[in-house]
Amino acid sequence: MRFDPTLAAVRFGSGLSPIIGPPDNTDAILAEIDDVFAFAIPGYSDADPSISDYQQASMTRTKARGTDQAEATEQAFREVRQAANRVYDQALRSSLARHVGAQIGFKPRLSAFFADHFTVKSRGGPQRHLVTPFVEDAVTPHLNGYFSAMLRAVITHPMMLLYLQQFQSVGPTSTVGKRRNRGINENLARELLELHTLGVDGVYAQADVRELAELLTGLTYNGQRGFFYDERFAEPGAETVLGITYDAADGLDNILHAIDDLAVHPQTARHIAGKIAAAFVADTPDVGLVDAMTAAFVATDGFLPSVYAAMLDHPASWHADLLKIKSPQRFIMSAMRALGVTGDQVDQASGRNTRALFVTPLRVMGQPWERPNGPDGWPEDSTDWISPQGMAGRISWAMTAPRILVQNRLPDPRDFVQTALGSLAGQDVIFAASAAEVRDEGVGVVLASPAFQRS
Amino acid sequence: MDRRKFLTRVAALGCSAAASPLVTPVALAQAPWETRLVVIILRGAMDGLDVFRPIGDPDYARLRPTLRQGTMDLTGFFGMNAALSPLMPLWQAGELGAAHAVSTPYRDKRSHFDGQDILEAGRPGLIGSSNDGWLNRMLQTIPGITGETAFAIGRDQQLIMTGDAPAARWSPEAELTLSPQAERLLALVHEADPMFKNASAQAIEIAQSIVMTAASDAEGAEMMMADPMMAAVNTNKEHVQLAEFAAARLRGDTRIASFSVSGWDTHLNQKGGIQNALRRLSDTILTLRAGLGPVWNNTAVLCLTEFGRTAAENGTKGTDHGTGGAMIYGGGALNGGRVLGDWPGLAEADLYNRRDLMPTRDVRAYPAWVMHDLLGISRRAIESSIFPGLEMGSNPGIVA
């Protein structure tokens, strides 16, 4: 089978919408990656408060305890924390709004894919609101460029250095290491090989992890300056990773060279191609499809649009069977889109609705916002999403959230089944939508149906 | 309530994904043993020194000038925070105890996030992407467990129960109101898709069984009502409902349960803060005890926290993140009425970094001995896979 507009919207975009038509061809899908996202999200250095603002307010408050400044500094800290919470909530809403309001939704899906591939989690209050800004800085600008550029941006981002504890890693014989008796933290080096590039089955050995960890020493950040390279932490001497020797005398350059080399490694090509195919097409994608995407990656040194094009042009991407289960986030976003909710409505949802319609339901469905279990991110396999509790969360949302979202103007379920599913609507769903006693249940049954939950 | 509407408060419970729960019948499972193990995670770092107070230590009064009021003497050397007075009868019956001066292997950074991860992972440190928990690894060593043998309860993701072994999960937020018509229509649209069919059927089945348990388990309800110790417990609170749910499951096929009691991060005005948290904890334990009835005699409850707090009060009548702390334990299967552990002393030179209570034992040793003596899990399995890097050491005699 070849291109189909409904499949294109559902499989590669945010789903069907009563107000935005599906794409006409694969070029339209590819073209979206050059669009600038609506719903601006601040980057790390523009986010207010910064990590150091937050920490300073917290320290000032702690120091003032027991003095006549206690109340004022407590109040000041509370305001900083509330400001951080507002950034967090708004970033969540804007991220969802980008899917709901997108022309197609391919670009926001790619953004979510790479944000997950390079999972960063907050390690506490001062950075809780800065995960989405990390994505905005390090992932979004490179979706239509080279994988190596994205990898450089991710690995040198303060939030990644914090999350995988690179900023605490000290070369044992570096200036600081000798003075303070501190050592290497292998966390980022290991994940860089295992998760970000070669994959767990890659050719690397423990010695490569260790040498790469020594090579990465010096990558650090501070609250004011953000990322910088500090040679006082850097382990002197040459390091050999996957048989290539990098001279420490080059400072940051040798680290970037190693990142570039890893980014274009053939195993990286296969790992990234396979993961993209698994995210969009099938949990276990067709081997020919992954081969074609890998070849495109290798031939272009990891120019990502060529990898996407190889996927969209391959017949194995257009099978009629709906093999993927939408993640809870995808389910919620595509449901809002099907209901005709606009990106602006999502972006401007109240704090109360943010919690009631997004934060809490995502937790119940098993995908709490920005809180996957570990640096390997969310599971991709369908079986990981469909548990009894997850199903209850989905059904419950399908039955109750639409009325709130459309302010009591629920569509007629007999129309909604067509809007939401188009040619994917089977006789069973069409019948169920018409047989419902009340609109809420008719709309809910459509949204809870496998035809809608799959892609 | 509208009679035609069958209001199902779906207590939807889920099975951990990797466990392929879709083919496992949830009810009617045969449990592999009779003993119950409940692990309560005290999130936020409980101040062990303020719960089981070393009143006989010569440095205690100096370190805790304002946090000493309201102590009930237990052993002459240790006293208990009076906020736990509802549990005093349990202490006297040997059903409540503590292990003091304990900690996980986590040191120095004192981050809640990392501390809880290490506590729940049960590993010596944070290791890359290994994200399974020690209760799950324990389940992996036991043949014949089913989806309902182990239950993680509550809204928080519990790393402690996460992993390859099947474990059910239930969140009080997972509710579902389904009319009979909606239920029929859902069944219709899910009919052709086995994955959806099984998952939603299980959700509905379990929900109804929980509703039915609540309605027909007169024995359980009576047991709770009749217990004079429940008189002061406010059963409308969420933590009490969690404990009730846990007790109901544990009366059935469930053998392992975990949940959290939060609110221990008492940097400021600790007296009131810790009173509230201890009240929640004592309500929880009393509810478990009352709800379990005779099963309480076969039950072990372990309350673990990520680390202790500073030995000295800070400038705001609170305490900051520390190292050594206490584990509270209860249940008829354990040997209570005492405070276990080697006391390191509170003199400045005896403290960890001249600041925190010095841990004299890896806290993992206590759940390790409970698993060993109560569940018959081998020392080898415990030291190699459940708690890697732990040396169990001598038997502390925690199991009765």
CA dist A445 and A453 (Å) reads 11
Domains by residue range for chain B, with CATH = 35-173+236-386 (3.40.720)
Model pTM? 0.74
Q: How many other β-carbons are positioned within 10 Å of the β-carbon of residue B229?
A: 16
Is residue B24's pLDDT more than 60? no
Range 332-391 of B in CB contact (< 8 A) with A: none
Confidence band, pLDDT 50/70/90 cuts, at residue B35: very high
User: pLDDT tens for residues A125-151?
Assistant: 899 999 999 999 999 999 999 999 999
Q: Give the C-alpha distances (Å, rounded to integers) separating B240 from A82, A241, B11, B247, B331.
A: 30, 55, 16, 10, 17
Q: How remote is the C-alpha of A210 from its chain's centroid? A: 28
CB atoms within 10 A of CB A65: 17
Contacts of A186 in chain B (CB under 8 A): 128
CA gyration radius, chain B: 22
pLDDT of residue A385: 87
- Please tell me if residue A386 touches chain B, with a CB cutoff of 8 Å: yes
**Taking residues A192-197, what's their average pLDDT?**
95
Q: Using one digit for the tens of pLDDT, what is the confidence trace for B368-377?
A: 999 999 999 9
**Residues 205-234, chain A: which have Cβ within 8 Å of B?**
none
* Cβ pair B291, B224 in contact under 8 A: yes
Q: Where do the H-state alpha helices sit in chain B? A: 48-51, 60-63, 88-92, 112-121, 134-140, 180-190, 194-216, 218-226, 238-251, 270-292, 365-375, 379-381
From CA A126, how far away is CA A252, in angstroms rounded?
A: 27
Rounded average pLDDT over A423-439: 94
Residue B27 has pLDDT above 70, yes or no: no
Chain A, residues 292-331, CB within 8 A of chain B, namely 325
pLDDT recorded at residue B168 = 79
Tell me: pLDDT of A1 over 70.
no
* Partner-chain contact A395 B206, CB within 8 Å: no
Q: How confident is the model at residue B167 (pLDDT cuts 50, 70, 90)?
A: confident
Average pLDDT over residues A205-219: 93
Question: Among A156, A159, A207, which residue's Cα sits nearest to residue A186?
Answer: A207
Please say if the pLDDT value at position B308 is more than 80.
Answer: yes
In terms of Cα–Cα distance, which of B15, B12, B28 is closest to B205?
Answer: B12
State pLDDT tens for residues A330-369.
999 999 999 999 999 999 999 999 999 999 899 888 899 9
ipTM of the complex: 0.88
pLDDT tier at B23, thresholds 50, 70, 90:
very low
Instruction: Find where tokens 């509230």 sit.
Output: B276
Residues of B in contact with A379 (CB under 8 A): 17
CA B212, CA B235: separation in Å to the nearest integer? 19
CA A296, A302, A304: angle at the middle one, nearest 5? 80
Q: pLDDT tens digits, residue range B70-108? A: 999 999 999 999 999 999 999 999 999 999 999 999 998
Residue B128 pLDDT > 60: no
User: Touching check for B212 and chain A: CB below 8 Å?
Assistant: no
Q: Where do the domains of chain A lie? A: 161-263, 328-453
| Residue A270 contacts residue A214 (beta carbons within 8 Å) | no
Q: Taking a C-beta distance cutoff of 8 angstroms, is the pair B111, B100 a contact?
A: no
Q: Is the peptide bond before A49 cis (omega within 30 degrees of 0)?
A: yes
Question: What tokens appear for A403 in the block?
Answer: 């009325």
For residue A347, the number of C-alpha atoms closer than 13 Å in the C-beta half-sphere is: 16
Q: Would you state the pLDDT for residue B5?
A: 30
Q: Are A330 and A365 in contact (CB under 8 A)?
A: no
